[in-house]
Structure 1
Amino acid sequence: MLISRTARIASASVALVIAATSASAQKKYDTGATDTEIKIGNIMPYSGAASVAGVIGRAEAAYLAVINEAGGIGGRKINFISYDDAYSPPKAVEQARKLIEGDEVLFMFSPFGTPSNAAIQKYLNARKVPQLFVFSGASRFADPQNFPWTTMGWLPTYRLEASVHAKYLLKEKPQAKIGVLYQNDDGGKDYLKGLKEALGDKASAMIVAEESFDVTEPTIDTHIAKLKASGADTLIDLASPKFAAQAIKRIAAFDWRPLHIIASFSRSLGGVIKPAGLENAQGIVSATIAKDPEDKRWDNDPGMKAYNEFLTKAFPEGDRRDSNTLIGYGLAQMLIQVLKQCGDNLTRENVMRQATNLKEFRSEVLLPGIKMNTSPTNYTPVSQMQMTRLNGEGWEPVGDIISGDVQK
């Protein structure tokens, strides 16, 4: 029987649709992904000067174990391979090579610290391996033009955080005499640059002293002594947790009473404040994007209820007072969102595509009103922060949420 031209065209069209559907449904994998597994690499300071931050990796591992128990993502279990770099850049390079060339992970997720991430950034970019959600606010990790395979972190950039601190001071203490303590690395220098930019023409009059330190120094006592001697009545302290705790203790020992502003990554009650002595830390100010687990305002909050249930059932060794535990939980939620968006296209290129296309994403631990948005030209997902003050055994909000300046 003859088939009409119309019928042949219709038949061909159906065949094309079927072929296109089949092609679009095909699974795509790069090294580290299969039908049953997604390998993800991580580097954390489980030992060394920043070891208190190791709980971030432990919390992430616990959260991903919960996801695996529920069937994984798209039927694939997440193989989370996390190594200790002791907060040492050479060790970070060694561990990154092991993860990429030995374990053959699909990508790197939330490696900790400015020095370690800076040490591995060029290597990962050269190999086109995503370096997702680095735990650093250095602006070099929000630079898609020069490092397209390095994407955003959990933290706002240090320059953005500096602009939030500056806006707070210009409103609350415009005559402040500021001493700045900062780590001698990209992060510390970024912060100082951002602070001066945000203070504008008042910077030279307000900043009376600057002290940088290296993480290899055993103590920062001499730096604190110099800052006190400068006549500063306000201390901006961009120190990693170990040194932030030292600064709090030394300030109390010197009977110095400046307005003390500490970096968001060192505001942990369990990892910094309590080891330094609660009595020494009263009145300290810090910015944050996340809810405080100790704040009674969140007792009936669905997101914090889910977080507390996670701690009880999956991570009982986690300290709910430690903001690093909360951060690990929130970071893992970001990871899961990206993997869900990837679907069956688990190539490194698509992982980057999805990580740079987060739209109005909210982790359960973010403060109300704060959402995460990214794009191929915006690697800074958060542009707002809330100032808080330590009062008793917890942080209380100070004023309204402040929008920071996202400097390129």
Structure 2
Amino acid sequence: MSFVTRRLAAFSTALIVLAASGSSAPAQKKYDPGVTDTEIKIGNIMPYSGPASAYGVIGRTEAAYFRKINAEGGINGRKINFISYDDAYSPPKAVEQARKLVESDEVLLIFDPLGTPSNTAIQKYMNAKKVPQLFVSSGATKWNDPQNFPWTMGWQPNYQSEARIYARYILTNKPNAKIGVLYQNDDYGKDYLKGLKDGLGDKAASMIVAADAYDVAETTVDSHVVKMKSLNADVFVDVATPKFAAQAIREMAEIGWKPLHILNSVATSIGAVIKPAGFQNAQGIISVAYLMDPLDPTWKDDPGMKAFDEFLANYFPEGNRADSLLVTGYNEGQTLVQVLKQCGDNLTRENVMKQAANLKKFRTTNLLPGITINTSPIDFAPIKQVRLRRFEGQTWVLFGPLLSSEVGG
């Protein structure tokens, strides 16, 4: 055998050995802070106290859901360590808690932090640190801006589009309306107001007779409601969080004001808002939905609702089934679990965002029929459709077709 032949034979043998060893080698694991072979550390910020404390149940539901996931073996063998802090719906406190989660607790990501003001306060920090601010619990339009904030993604339908849907409803059903708008004096409230004005178009200036902002530090919004009645408004667009929405419903009944009442979707929980305000006072309220309401008999035999009830029985028995915010937390948790499953063993922050931006026709168990979650590298708005609903008796009743909840939709 010649020298050249021997060299070729040796080279061929080496290639065969390399190929064999490469085919049997496991895929390399890639971890960022917060991840080990047995754990994924997830951070969260919720208003467990303060003026928006009704939303705290979302965080408690998520904690229970992750206990369920852990009991079932975790995600690819890793258990979720869910660290949730209270910010009392205070932006400075949210900044403090975000820094603690990222720099002290070293979480992989911050999941479902609640509130437009709080998330606005931490958005630049999270993006500078390149830590996912994932599935923000707020419908502000600003969370869908992957070009400028590639580490921030929303989850629920956006506020401006929801308000445009209300504008179309008003123009169709009460084209000569006098509209009174109550809104929270921050980016959350202003987002809804912009959407309403955009939807009304040229008629906005003449139709809106009052646009009153309330501050979260106020104890009551009663004076704002009285003012709108005095201006003879016959449509009330109520952009308020649960505490203030319940106050407005009660005050309207006390002063005998009966306009067409449109209530933003973030304050429609029967358990947290409607029941405390009085069922008799809430008749005919219009809103939108994208998730099944546990008290709607339509879903009594739905497999997704049965799974939700089983989850409550086994992992969150103290949860109030009448509070639809539990369904929100339960479905948001499912979305995060799907992203982490897609990550496999590549649990880097960069891959988390890559997988979050690659959700295709994904359905959590309680989305309304026909609604799916879809994202892409240029689309950070997971849920884009809703249905109108009206409060009748002691439950919400859906009506009309699926409507687009996209700005420009």
> Hey, what does 1:142 align to over in structure 2?
144
> Hey, what does 1:215 align to over in structure 2?
216
Secondary structure of the structure 1 residue equivalent to 2:110 = strand
> Hey, what does 1:276 align to over in structure 2?
277
Secondary structure of the structure 2 residue equivalent to 1:398 = strand
> Hey, what does 1:330 align to over in structure 2?
331
Please report how far the alpha carbon of residue 21 of structure 1 lies from its aligned counterpart in structure 2 after TM superposition. 7.2
> Hey, what does 1:166 align to over in structure 2?
167
Please report how far the alpha carbon of residue 17 of structure 1 lies from its aligned counterpart in structure 2 after TM superposition. 7.2
Please report how far the alpha carbon of residue 405 of structure 1 lies from its aligned counterpart in structure 2 after TM superposition. 3.6
- Cα distance in 2 between the residues matched to 1:276 and 1:337: 37
> Hey, what does 2:58 align to over in structure 1?
56
Matches within 5 A, 1:197-208: 197-208=198-209
- Cα distance in 1 between the residues matched to 2:139 and 2:224: 23
Secondary structure of the structure 1 residue equivalent to 2:153 = coil
Secondary structure of the structure 1 residue equivalent to 2:400 = coil
Mark the structure with the bigger radius of gyration.
2
Secondary structure of the structure 1 residue equivalent to 2:257 = coil
Say which is worse superposed, 359-368 or 374-383, in terms of deviation.
374-383
- Cα distance in 2 between the residues matched to 1:21 and 1:112: 45
Tell me the number of residue pairs that the alignment of Structure 1 and Structure 2 aligns. Answer: 406
Question: Which portions of structure 1, spanning 4 or more consecutive aligned residues, are displaced by more than 6 angstroms?
Answer: none
Deviations 1:56-113 (A, max 9, x none): 0011010100100111001100000001111111111111111111111000000111
User: Structure 2: which amino acid aligns with 1:15?
Assistant: L
Matches within 5 A, 1:109-188: 109-153=111-155, 155-188=156-189
Deviations 1:349-379 (A, max 9, x none): 0001011111101111100001110111111
Q: Percent identity?
A: 61
Please report how far the alpha carbon of residue 176 of structure 1 lies from its aligned counterpart in structure 2 after TM superposition. 2.1
Please report how far the alpha carbon of residue 9 of structure 1 lies from its aligned counterpart in structure 2 after TM superposition. 4.1
Please report how far the alpha carbon of residue 169 of structure 1 lies from its aligned counterpart in structure 2 after TM superposition. 2.0
In structure 2, the CA distance between the partners of 1:262 and 1:3, relative to structure 1 (3 Å rule), is farther
> Hey, what does 1:227 align to over in structure 2?
228
The TM-score, its normalising length taken from structure 2, stands at: 0.95
> Hey, what does 2:395 align to over in structure 1?
394
> Hey, what does 1:101 align to over in structure 2?
103
Say which is worse superposed, 60-69 or 138-147, in terms of deviation.
138-147
Do the aligned residues in 2 keep the contact of 1:163 with 1:405 (CA within 8 Å)? no
- Cα distance in 2 between the residues matched to 1:272 and 1:397: 18
- Cα distance in 2 between the residues matched to 1:172 and 1:312: 43
Secondary structure of the structure 1 residue equivalent to 2:377 = coil
- Cα distance in 2 between the residues matched to 1:405 and 1:275: 32
Please report how far the alpha carbon of residue 152 of structure 1 lies from its aligned counterpart in structure 2 after TM superposition. 1.8
> Hey, what does 1:72 align to over in structure 2?
74
- Cα distance in 1 between the residues matched to 2:21 and 2:408: 48
In structure 2, the CA distance between the partners of 1:106 and 1:253, relative to structure 1 (3 Å rule), is same
- Cα distance in 1 between the residues matched to 2:178 and 2:13: 79
Aligned to 1:29, which of 25, 31, 47?
Answer: 31
Deviations 1:16-65 (A, max 9, x none): 5744874x710000000010100000011111111111110011010100
Do the aligned residues in 2 keep the contact of 1:137 with 1:157 (CA within 8 Å)? yes
Say which is worse superposed, 343-352 or 190-199, in terms of deviation.
190-199
- Cα distance in 2 between the residues matched to 1:266 and 1:365: 18
Please report how far the alpha carbon of residue 11 of structure 1 lies from its aligned counterpart in structure 2 after TM superposition. 4.8
- Cα distance in 1 between the residues matched to 2:254 and 2:61: 34
> Hey, what does 2:362 align to over in structure 1?
361
Do the aligned residues in 2 keep the contact of 1:41 with 1:80 (CA within 8 Å)? yes
In structure 2, the CA distance between the partners of 1:126 and 1:20, relative to structure 1 (3 Å rule), is farther
Unaligned runs of 5+ in 2: none
User: Structure 1: which amino acid aligns with 2:62?
Assistant: E
- Cα distance in 1 between the residues matched to 2:213 and 2:21: 64
Deviations 1:305-352 (A, max 9, x none): 101111111111111111101101011000100000110000000001
Do the aligned residues in 2 keep the contact of 1:164 with 1:385 (CA within 8 Å)? no
Do the aligned residues in 2 keep the contact of 1:285 with 1:388 (CA within 8 Å)? yes
Unaligned runs of 5+ in 1: none
User: Structure 1: which amino acid aligns with 2:265?
Assistant: S
Do the aligned residues in 1 keep the contact of 2:158 with 2:405 (CA within 8 Å)? no
User: Structure 1: which amino acid aligns with 2:205?
Assistant: S
User: Structure 1: which amino acid aligns with 2:189?
Assistant: G
- Cα distance in 2 between the residues matched to 1:209 and 1:6: 87
**1:8 equivalenced with 2:11 (yes/no):** yes
- Cα distance in 1 between the residues matched to 2:6 and 2:243: 80
Secondary structure of the structure 2 residue equivalent to 1:81 = strand
- Cα distance in 2 between the residues matched to 1:13 and 1:337: 38
Secondary structure of the structure 2 residue equivalent to 1:400 = strand
In structure 2, the CA distance between the partners of 1:393 and 1:27, relative to structure 1 (3 Å rule), is same
Question: Pairwise CA RMSD of aligned residues?
Answer: 1.8
